[in-house]
Structure 1
Amino acid sequence: MKLWQRTKQAVYMAYASWKGKGYDFSDWSGRTFWGIDNSQLATNETIFSVITRLSNTLSTLPIKLHQNYDVIVNQAADVLINEPNQNMSSFDFINALEVSRNESGNGYAVILRDVRMQPSEIIPLDPSCVTEFIDRDDGSLWYEVRGESKNMYVHNMDMIHVKHIRGPNRWNGLSPIKVLANTIKYDKAVQDFSLSEMEKKESFILSYAANVSNDTRDQIIGDFRRFYKENGGILFKEPGVEIDKLKKEYFASDTLSSEKITRSRVANVFNVPVSFLNETGGGTFGSNEQEMIRFVQMTLSPIVRQYEHEFNRKLLTKDDRKYGMYFKFNLGALLRGDTAARTAFYQMMLRSAGMKPNEVRQFEDLPPDKSEMANQLWISGDLYPIDLPIAERKSTTTSTVGGGEKSD
């Protein structure tokens, strides 16, 4: 689409949002949700577990708008952090995006803007209703969103799109559940077989001698049928009659081995430590802290950076970014370690002028101290404000002057 078409599209969306109820995007795409969810997310415990962990972890991370390291608030930050739309909190919004990203490979949310072209609402979309395409006139990326009554075309700057990896010739992400199709099929086959074997009744071989009369044989079979039907009781074994129990083919160890294989494959595809899926074997980390560091560095950091880049590019203007504004998730809370590790870290940072006392209190979610001294950097000596002249610091060193000792 040409420039005038994009301008027309932007003005239309701003006008629709400004007009209020009855003219917004949610009314256009209104749907009634009903029925039973038969997706793999609802029918596979392992996949449900890993997606729940990823989406909940990302949703609980604090996100703030910074300007050259200072925390600020503007309209875009207020919409994203406090009320993305009239039906969702920030937790629900990010959680919905992350669940869609992990289930279908893509998470979409359309940005509605006011008359000043500032974000007013961000509404998640059903990934199955969105298709990407490239405009042949200018090469820009657009999204076709299919509604109940009509379709809408949204420019990429008005669409939050988070995804899994993609190939060079495609814009939508690859669904990890599709990658796990064979694993899911194998796991289901093992579960169905194990369940069918467990539900089978006990089987027996009833043998009797050739010289047993017909009446005696009928009596033996009748007694055994009664015994089997009543699931127990007394059964008299007649001479020449043998009863052998058939062994079942089900072995609990087979199911456990299959579940272990499934957990390992799911963990590999979603790039999480297998211990996060309650698999205790095969651990290689010396502590939970080391494992969490690997999870943050290898799994969460790429996901978080993708969200931050989408928010920075599409919720902030170029002028905002020139003035040093950026959205940032705080991953520090996941790396704080236990009490002893945090104490040692804070002591080191305080004594080397790396942090202020109030910054330490902020990390621990404590209110700032009102003293001005709590907002100063200190160095060990023990301890001084970093800007205190050396001459005013106490000293315990001694020097020899004229054959005697003098305290500095």
Structure 2
Amino acid sequence: MGIWKRIKNAAKELSRPTVSLEEKELLEWLGITPSNKKAVAEVTYFTCLKMLSETIGKLPLKYYQQTERGRIRAPTTEAGVLMTIRPNPFMTPTTMWTAVEQNCQHYGNGYIWMRTKFIPSTYGGEYHFLDMWPMQSNYVTPIMDDLGLFGNAGNIYYKYSDPRTGKQYMFRNSEVMHFKTWYSFDGFTGMPVRDILRATVDGASESQDYMNRLYKQGLTASMAMQYVGDLEDKKREALQKKFADLLSSPKNAGKVIPVPTSLTLTPLNMSLVDAQFFELRKYSALQIAGAFGIKPNQINNYEKSSYANSETQQLAFLVDTMSYRLKMYEEEINGKVLLPQEITDEYFYKFNEKAILRTDSKTQMENLAKAVNNGIYKPNEARDYLDLPAEKGGDILMVNGNYIPITDVGKQYEKGGGESGSN
């Protein structure tokens, strides 16, 4: 076979129409049933997504410095203003962090683009933060440049495809804060829970659809219509539609209708109790919540909960679930936002997790009073915790005058050590 004939044959093969793997008919022929339902439509999945996203959004981000005296609050910086006051003209920090965590949980990865500007100076110049923007994770593609196509080999870049304009942008690793879920074998990108529990989430969605259909038809069962003789298709369909309109929908619930003597209607649906529908639905909800690290009381399951137990579960949620998320966020923020000199001077950002552990007013006052009386808090620090202004003389630690150092215990009984030891 000559070279030209081979080229013609190759061109002919390439010109043949191809079948897309996204076509519904092909997927069904292969035994694959595509799911067009959104996981967010499932109430348990939505609740878990809401709980995690709002928890990140409600925690205030603080800027500290580690000194010889311990950790102290540090004056805010350009980046600190963006992350705690206004990241961009259209968002609040709460909105930004909530959107990032929602993208992270739903798509497996969350991204924030940090727009900077280089300002030259006599000694070379420095970068200044202008604003911060969360990026839609389904339009971001992380790229590992192993060949050095964009510069030095081994660097990471992020390609963003703008869904509105269709333009593509390439950002350096230092320009993007990348947050991910714990499920990552390469440590580079994370996987969402919905992909891991796709069957469970789809099953829960189907059970929700089933309940919706029952409500729409007035909680009445499907029926078999038995009649004598043979009817034409049009007459049978008309008869079927007549009784369907009379029996279905909530407005017809409990309605009595006349049925001809030659016609019999027999319910066909299986009882929800016999099918253990609600038990299976509850079990699926607990499975989805457990995969997210959400406690039963947070999805309104209070069967084995009391008030005290719910408070303990909230603490367990912070320790078991959010502590990992917060540590991951803090490490990425400190690694991407802090300047080299700030790292040298031991500055760092930290979320205040105590915001989700607030107790009732009585318990709060008792705890603050104990902390002040035992020299843990200064009075003004306790007042600041209650959003009250500082007062003069409130910046000193106070303790009970009857207390003595543990190293001095027993000295009062020694000779000359006190009244009980004197002659």
How does the TM-score come out when normalised to structure 1? Answer: 0.72
Aligned position for 2:190: 173
Does the aligned pair in 1 maintain the 2:44–2:289 contact within 8 Å? Answer: no
In the alignment, residue 139 of structure 1 is paired with which amino acid? G
User: Helix, strand or coil: the match of 2:74?
Assistant: strand
Quickly say closer, same or farther: Cα 1:202–1:60, change in 2 above 3 A.
closer
For residue 55 of structure 1, the aligned residue among 48, 53, 56 is 53
Once the two structures are TM-superposed, the CA of residue 401 in structure 1 deviates from its matched residue by 7.0
Query: Partner of 1:65 in structure 2?
Result: 63
1:152 Cα deviation after fit: 2.4
Q: Which residue of 2 aligns with 1:375?
A: 395
Residue of 291, 307, 312 corresponding to 2:329: 307
Aligned partners of 2:116, 2:244: CA distance in 1, in Å? Answer: 73
Cα distance, 1:123–1:197 mapped onto 2, change above 3 Å: closer
Q: Give CA-to-partner distance per residue, 1:320-374, whole Å, 9 cap, x none.
A: 1211211111112322433443334323322221111111112222222x212x1
Q: Which residue of 1 aligns with 2:133?
A: 123
How far apart, in 1, do the equivalents of 2:333 and 2:83 lie? 9
Q: Secondary structure at the match of 2:178?
A: strand
The verdict on how the C-alpha distance between 1:206 and 1:176 changes in structure 2, with shifts beyond 3 A counting, is closer
1-structure distance, mates of 2:114, 2:341: 19
Q: Contact conserved, 1:104 with 1:174, CA < 8 A, in 2?
A: yes
Pick from 146, 154, 164 the counterpart of residue 161 of structure 2.
146
Matches of 1:131 and 1:141 in 2, distance apart? 11
Paired residue type of 1:51:
L
Match of 2:123 in 1: none
Change (3 A) 1:52 1:202: closer
| Equivalence for 1:187 | 204
Q: Which residue among 255, 265, 268 is the counterpart of 2:287?
A: 265
Q: Which amino acid aligns with 1:113?
A: T
For structure 2, list consecutive stretches of 5 or more residues without a partner in the other structure: 1-35, 67-71, 120-125, 147-151, 229-240, 248-254, 405-417
Deviates most, 44-53 or 160-169: 160-169
Matches within 5 A, 1:5-404: 40-68=38-66, 69-114=72-117, 115=119, 116-136=126-146, 137-147=152-162, 148-169=165-186, 171-196=188-213, 199=217, 203=223, 245-246=266-267, 248-251=269-272, 254-283=276-305, 286-368=308-390, 370-372=391-393, 374-381=394-401, 399=420
The answer for the alignment partner of 1:31 in structure 2 is: none
What secondary structure, in the 3-state scheme, does the structure 1 residue paired with 2:127 have? Answer: coil
Q: Secondary structure at the match of 1:379?
A: coil
Paired residues of 1:197 and 1:249 also in contact (CA < 8 A): no
Identity %: 21
Residue ranges of structure 1 left out of the alignment (5+ in a row)? 1-37, 209-224, 385-396, 403-408
Give the Cα separation in 2 of the matches to 1:346 and 1:94: 30
CA offset at residue 235 of structure 1?
Answer: 5.6
Change (3 A) 1:348 1:42: same
CA RMSD in angstroms comes to 3.6
Distance 1:310 1:400 in 2: 61
Distance in 1 (alpha carbons) for counterparts of 2:208 and 2:141: 36
**Offset of 1:317 from its aligned partner?**
0.5
CA distance in 2, matches of 1:142, 1:82: 28
